[in-house]
């Protein structure tokens, strides 16, 4: 009897997850109807966002969202995983626990605080030093041309990298610590150096956890709103240059939703929310595939 | 015994809260500081009337008034015809105070830059890209202008401030009118968007060569430098409470009966060109007699004593002509 009650109660809890997801999609789908009917699938690759002309397209925002998130991971993954390896494998215990405490603290800082750090520190640094240096070195590429404003895609990516960094360290470190001691000892006993043990045995063993940390970082990067809207420049025109101001889906929703007037405008913003939902699902699906692929590869090696 | 007295006291306090007339409104954030002060002062004079106001933005105010979830709305831009058509009960526009916008810029050592209308339009259209452009030099003879890039900073959040600024640009530049147009959010031809007055001001302050627009109140409170703007009569004026009120007086002669009027680029040599009313939107029919009396007496008080609070908070008061016409409009509330 007690088991049955527990089963039903937990089932109800579990069902709320499904219910919330269905409710969310149903709500977004319904509210975005005027925009979906007006623009059709073309909304996804439309590049114009003009509230006055009632013409809306999602591409500049999708591009900004995906682009800044990927650039952020390119910066934060090597740094984060490297730091996790150091903390889990090489650092003396006192240093390791001190750093871990700080990392967990950083992961809990509200994003608007990172936004302030970004405005007062990262933006001037980018404008005065990093962007001129990049322009000097790679100025022949279109990505590194144009005026250096300090705000834009690249700055947003750097800020996202700073924000995702603690997540990647904290979870990767946990995953590395989970690796059984005998795995390390076996490798050392076979004559592997400490370095070889770490990179050929420990890291491959913990790769699922490390990948998990990267996906969590990615999820945070895709949905990040406050800090990004403070540094990305909020410009709905597509630019090739990484120095130029851009926009993300979450940022435009935060900026324009409260004062949006008219059915089409409001529903276009809701449809952007739907697109962000889709982008998140697609990226998560790709991530799952990546996990599956690497797991198989790993198994094959063992065999 | 003591507790029962205390309990009775609490119960009595409870009933007095219930019997007080609660009136709810929502809308524009720009006039919120003075509305908050007005509603509080008015409640002290009339303890039976409590006016609650949520500053959620002009768009939200109009939406809530349309849905009928508030007793009155407030907006920084007059309602459009299609918004009025959606209303179940006709709403009256009551101008309450005036605000102005000022151009702020970052050019070290260059105080009091003059902004001609063709220069402002050119800069925000992205046609003028360097500070030593001939059009800027023409408006500022004798000043040595640097050859740096102009970086335009605008609001990224939908805002009545953006509406007023783009409405002004639409009046002085046919190209702006045909292109980006006037709205709370628009497609900007150039530049960087930042949130709120503080976002725009902060970005301008830390970026050499930047130029943006902020509310006069914000500039005054933060003791910011700002430029003068050429008005419709060709005179360069620095915004202050007098020149903003003069803009309303200049426009008063051609004001439509429903007060839905833009006073940007107003005539008169003393009129500051980038100014605007902000409005209370009051339903013309209020079923609840108590609420109706309360709102009417608030409006009368606001147009007389309330106006005296303006200067201290940095808002420009309404000119006499407008007050007189609004007092007549109050009679239309049934």
Contacts of A254 in chain B (CB under 8 A): 157
Distance from the Cα of B97 to chain A's closest Cα (Å) equals 21
CATH number at residue B174: 3.40.190.10
Residue A119 has, within 13 A of its CA and on its CB side, a CA count of 22
Predicted local confidence at residue A302, as pLDDT: 38
Q: Does A217 fall in a domain? A: yes
Do B170 and B114 lie in one domain? The reply is yes
Which among A119, A246, A261 is the top mutation candidate for probing chain B, defined by the most B β-carbons within 10 Å of its own β-carbon?
A261
Which chain B residue has its CA at the smallest distance from A247's CA? B193
* B148 touches A: beta carbon within 8 Å: no
H helical segments located in B134-271: 134-139, 160-172, 174-178, 196-206, 216-221, 241-252
- Does some domain include residue A14? no
How far apart are alpha carbons B5 and A161 in whole angstroms? 61
What is the rounded average pLDDT of the residues B49-71? 90
**Mean pLDDT, all residues of chain A:** 90
Answer whether B186 touches A (CB < 8 Å): yes
pLDDT recorded at residue B19: 53
Share of chain B above pLDDT 90, in %: 65
Contact B59 A258 (CB under 8 A): yes
Least confident span in A31-35, A84-88, B4-8, B225-229: B4-8
Nearest CA in chain B to A236: B187
Confidence (pLDDT) at B20: 66
Give chain B positions within 8 Å (CB) of A119: 202, 206
Subunit contact A150:B182, Cβ cutoff 8 A = no
Count of domains in chain A? 1
The domain boundary, picked from B247, B282, B311, lies at B247
Assign A224 to helix, strand or coil: coil
What is the CATH number for A243?
1.10.3720.10
Say whether residue A72 is in contact with chain B using an 8 A CB cutoff. no
**B185 to A259: CB separation less than 8 angstroms, yes or no:** yes
Within 5-64 of B, beta carbons closer than 8 Å to A belong to 56-60, 62
Instruction: Give the C-alpha separation, A242 to A154, whole Å.
Output: 5
C-alpha distance from B184 to closest chain A C-alpha (Å): 7
Phi, psi of B94 (to 5 degrees): -120, 105
Compute chain B's Rg from CA coordinates. 22
Per DSSP bridges, beta strands B192-194 and B275-283 are unpaired
* Residue B260 included in any domain: no
* Residues B53 and B94 occupy one common structural domain: yes
Does A27 map to a domain?
Answer: no
Q: Is the Cβ pair B180, A52 closer than 8 Å? A: yes
Provide φ and ψ at B253, rounded to 5°. -65, -35
Could you tell me which residue, B135 or B7, shows the higher pLDDT?
Answer: B135
From A234's Cα to the closest Cα of chain B, the distance in A is 5
- The answer to whether B65 and B281 have CB atoms below 8 angstroms apart is yes
In a domain, A11, yes or no: no
Whether B257 is in a domain gets the answer no
B86 lies in which domain range? 11-99+274-332
Chain A to chain B, count of Cβ pairs less than 8 Å apart? 90
For A258, the closest of B56, B83, B180 (CB atoms) is: B56
Contact residues, A window 134-173, toward B, CB-based 8 Å cutoff? 147, 149-151
Residues of chain A with C-beta less than 8 angstroms from the C-beta of B80: 261
Q: CA A14: distance to chain centroid?
A: 26
> Cβ B57–A119 below 8 Å, yes or no?
no
> Is B229 a domain residue?
yes
Of residues A149, A233, A255, nearest to B157 (C-beta): A255
- What is the overall mean pLDDT for chain B? 89
Instruction: Inform me whether the pLDDT recorded for A175 exceeds 90.
Output: yes
Domain that holds residue A294: 32-302
Confidence check: pLDDT of B21 > 80? no
B119 within a domain of the structure (yes/no): yes
Q: Hey, of A259, A264, A265, A267, which one would you mutate to test binding to chain B, going by the most B CBs within 10 A of its CB?
A: A259
Q: What is the pLDDT, as a whole number, of residue A260? A: 82
Report whether pLDDT(A71) > 90.
Answer: yes
B263 belongs to a structural domain: no
Q: Which residues contact B244 (CB under 8 A, 6 or more apart)?
A: B98, B99, B100, B216, B272, B275, B316
Residue B170 has pLDDT above 60, yes or no: yes
Owner of token pair 């101008």? B95
Residue A275 CA to residue A64 CA, distance in Å, equals 13
Q: Is residue A51 part of a domain?
A: yes
Instruction: Chain A: give the shortest CA distance to residue B201, in Å.
Output: 12
Instruction: Check A151 against B199: CB less than 8 A apart.
Output: no
Min distance B160 CA to chain A CA atoms (Å): 9
Using a CB-CB cut-off of 8 Å, the residues of chain A touching B198 are: none
Cα–Cα distance between A127 and A129 in angstroms, integer?
6
Closest chain A CA to residue B185: A51
Q: Could you say which residues from 208 to 247 on chain B have a Cβ atom under 8 Å away from some Cβ of chain A?
A: none
Residue A146: its chain B contacts at CB < 8 A?
none
Within a domain: residue A54?
A: yes
- The predicted structure's pLDDT at residue B295: 93
Query: Choosing among B28, B58, B59, which should be mutated to test the A contact, i.e. which has the most A CBs within 10 A?
Result: B59
Instruction: Give the pairing type, strands B114-115 and B228-230.
Output: parallel
If asked whether residues B239 and B150 sit together in one domain, one would say yes
Place A301 in a pLDDT band, splitting at 50, 70 and 90. Answer: very low
Q: What is the pLDDT of residues B95-149, one digit of tens each?
A: 999 999 999 999 988 888 999 999 999 999 999 999 999 999 999 998 999 999 9
Q: Tell me which chain B residues have a C-beta less than 8 angstroms from the C-beta of A48.
A: 187
Q: Which helix (H) or strand (E) holds B49?
A: strand B49-55
Instruction: Match 């609490």 to its residue by tokens.
Output: B10
CB-based contact, A235 to chain B, within 8 Å: yes
pLDDT digit string, tens, across residues A209-251: 898 899 889 988 998 999 999 999 999 999 999 999 999 999 9
Instruction: Look at residue A26 and tell me if it is in a domain.
Output: no
Number of domains in chain B: 2
In a domain, B117, yes or no: yes
Matching residue, tokens 């405008």: A265
Phi then psi for residue B166, to 5 deg, are -75, -30
Chain A contacts of B165, Cβ < 8 Å? Answer: none
Q: Do B57 and A234 touch (CB under 8 A)?
A: no
Contact B187 A49 (CB under 8 A): yes
A-chain residues near B206 (CB < 8 A): 119, 123-124, 150
Residues B79 and B216 in one domain: no
Of B216, B256, B209, which is closest to residue B100 (Cα–Cα)?
Answer: B216
Cα nearest neighbour of A262 on chain B: B83
> For the segment B79-106, what is each residue's pLDDT rounded down to a tens digit?
988 889 989 899 999 999 999 999 999 9
Q: Does B149 touch chain A (CB under 8 A)?
A: yes
Residue A7 domain-assigned (yes or no): no
| Gap between the terminal Cα atoms of chain A | 47
Tell me if B36 is assigned to some domain: yes
- Based on the domain organization, do B31 and B166 belong to the same domain? no
| Beta pairing partners, B322 | none
The model's pLDDT over A157-174, given as tens digits with 9 standing for 90+, comes to 999 999 999 999 999 999
Q: Which residues contact B56 (CB under 8 A, 6 or more apart)?
A: A258, B26, B27, B29, B64
Contact A259 B207 (CB under 8 A): no
Cβ within 8 Å, pair B194-A234: yes
Based on the domain organization, do B151 and B175 belong to the same domain? yes
Give per-residue pLDDT as tens, B277-305. Answer: 999 999 999 988 889 999 999 999 999 99
Q: What is the pTM of this model?
A: 0.86
Q: In this structure, are B15 and B91 located in the same domain? A: yes
- Asked if B83 and B178 sit in the same domain, the reply is no
Q: Cβ–Cβ of B192/A49 closer than 8 Å?
A: no
Instruction: Calculate how close chain B gets to A230, using CA atoms only, in Å.
Output: 7
Mean pLDDT of A114-125: 92
Q: What residues pair up with B210 in beta bridges, in sequence order?
A: B151
User: pLDDT tens-digit profile of A180-197?
Assistant: 999 999 999 999 998 899
Neighbouring residues of B327: CB distance < 8 A, sequence distance ≥ 6: B300, B303
Query: Based on the domain organization, do B227 and B298 belong to the same domain?
Result: no
**How many other β-carbons are positioned within 10 Å of the β-carbon of residue A89?**
20
The answer to whether residues B292 and B192 belong to one domain is no
**Cβ contact A245:A232 at 8 Å:** yes
Question: Under 8 Å CB-to-CB from B82, ≥6 apart: which residues?
Answer: A262
Q: How confident is the model at residue B225 (pLDDT cuts 50, 70, 90)?
A: confident
Same domain, B77 and B145: no
Q: What is the pLDDT of residue A299?
A: 44
Q: Are residues B111 and B243 in the same domain?
A: yes
DSSP string, B74-110: EESSPPPHHHHHT-SS-EEEEEEEEEEEEEEE--TT-
- Does some domain include residue B6? no
């Amino acid at each position: 009897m007690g088991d049955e009650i527990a089963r039903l109660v937990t089932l109800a809890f579990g069902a709320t997850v499904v219910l919330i997801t269905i409710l969310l999609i149903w709500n977004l789908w319904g509210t975005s109807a005027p925009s979906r009917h007006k623009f059709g699938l073309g909304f996804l690759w439309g590049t114009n966002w003009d509230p006055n002309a009632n013409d809306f397209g999602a591409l500049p925002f999708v591009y900004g969202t995906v682009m800044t998130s990927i650039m952020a991971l390119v910066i934060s993954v090597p740094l984060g995983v490297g730091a996790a390896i150091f903390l889990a494998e090489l650092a003396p215990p006192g240093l390791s626990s001190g750093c871990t405490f700080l990392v967990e603290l950083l992961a809990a800082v509200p994003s608007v605080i990172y936004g302030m750090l970004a405005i007062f520190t990262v933006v001037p640094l980018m404008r005065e030093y990093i962007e001129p240096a990049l322009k000097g070195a790679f100025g022949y590429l279109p990505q590194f041309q144009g005026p250096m404003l300090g705000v834009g895609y690249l700055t947003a990516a750097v800020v996202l990298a700073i924000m995702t960094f603690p997540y990647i360290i904290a979870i990767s470190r946990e995953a590395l610590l989970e690796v059984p001691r005998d795995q390390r000892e076996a490798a050392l006993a076979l004559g592997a150096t400490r370095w070889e043990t770490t990179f050929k045995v420990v890291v491959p063993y913990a790769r699922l956890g490390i990948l998990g940390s990267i996906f969590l970082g990615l999820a945070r990067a895709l949905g990040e709103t406050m800090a990004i809207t403070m540094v990305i420049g909020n410009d709905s025109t597509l630019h090739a240059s990484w120095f130029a101001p851009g926009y993300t889906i979450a940022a435009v929703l935060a900026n324009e939703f409260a004062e949006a007037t008219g059915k089409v405008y409001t529903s276009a913003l809701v449809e952007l929310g739907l697109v962000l939902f889709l982008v998140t699902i697609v990226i998560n699906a790709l991530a799952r595939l990546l996990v599956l692929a690497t797991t198989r590869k790993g198994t094959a090696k063992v065999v | 015994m003591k507790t029962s007295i205390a309990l009775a006291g609490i119960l009595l306090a409870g009933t007095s809260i219930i019997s007080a007339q609660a009136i709810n409104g929502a809308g524009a954030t720009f006039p919120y500081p003075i509305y908050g002060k007005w509603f509080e002062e008015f409640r002290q004079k009339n303890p039976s009337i409590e006016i609650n106001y949520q500053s959620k933005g002009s768009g939200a105010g109009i939406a809530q008034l349309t849905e009928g979830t508030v007793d009155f709305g407030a907006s920084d831009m007059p309602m459009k015809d299609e918004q009025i058509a959606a209303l179940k009960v006709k709403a009256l526009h009551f101008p309450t105070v005036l605000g102005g916008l000022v151009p702020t810029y970052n050019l070290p050592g260059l105080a009091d830059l003059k902004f001609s209308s063709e220069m402002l339009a050119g800069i925000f259209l992205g046609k003028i890209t360097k500070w030593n452009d001939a059009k800027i030099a023409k408006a500022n003879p004798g000043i040595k202008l640097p050859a740096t890039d102009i970086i335009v900073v605008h609001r990224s959040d939908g805002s009545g401030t953006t509406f007023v600024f783009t409405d002004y640009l639409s009046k002085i530049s046919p190209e702006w009118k045909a292109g980006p147009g006037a709205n709370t959010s628009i497609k900007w031809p150039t530049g960087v968007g930042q949130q709120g007055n503080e976002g725009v001001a902060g970005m301008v302050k830390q970026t050499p060569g930047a130029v943006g627009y902020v509310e006069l109140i914000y500039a005054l409170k933060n003791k910011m430098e700002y430029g003068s703007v050429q008005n419709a009569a060709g005179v360069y004026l620095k915004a202050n409470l007098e020149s903003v009120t003069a803009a309303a007086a200049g426009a008063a002669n051609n004001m439509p009966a429903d007060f839905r009027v833009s006073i940007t680029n107003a005539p008169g040599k003393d009129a500051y060109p980038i100014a605007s009313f902000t409005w209370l939107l009051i339903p013309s029919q209020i079923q609840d007699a108590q609420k109706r009396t309360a709102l009417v007496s608030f409006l009368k008080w606001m147009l007389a004593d309330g106006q005296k609070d303006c200067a201290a908070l940095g808002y420009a008061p309404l000119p006499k002509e407008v007050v007189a016409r609004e007092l007549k409009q109050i009679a239309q509330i049934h």
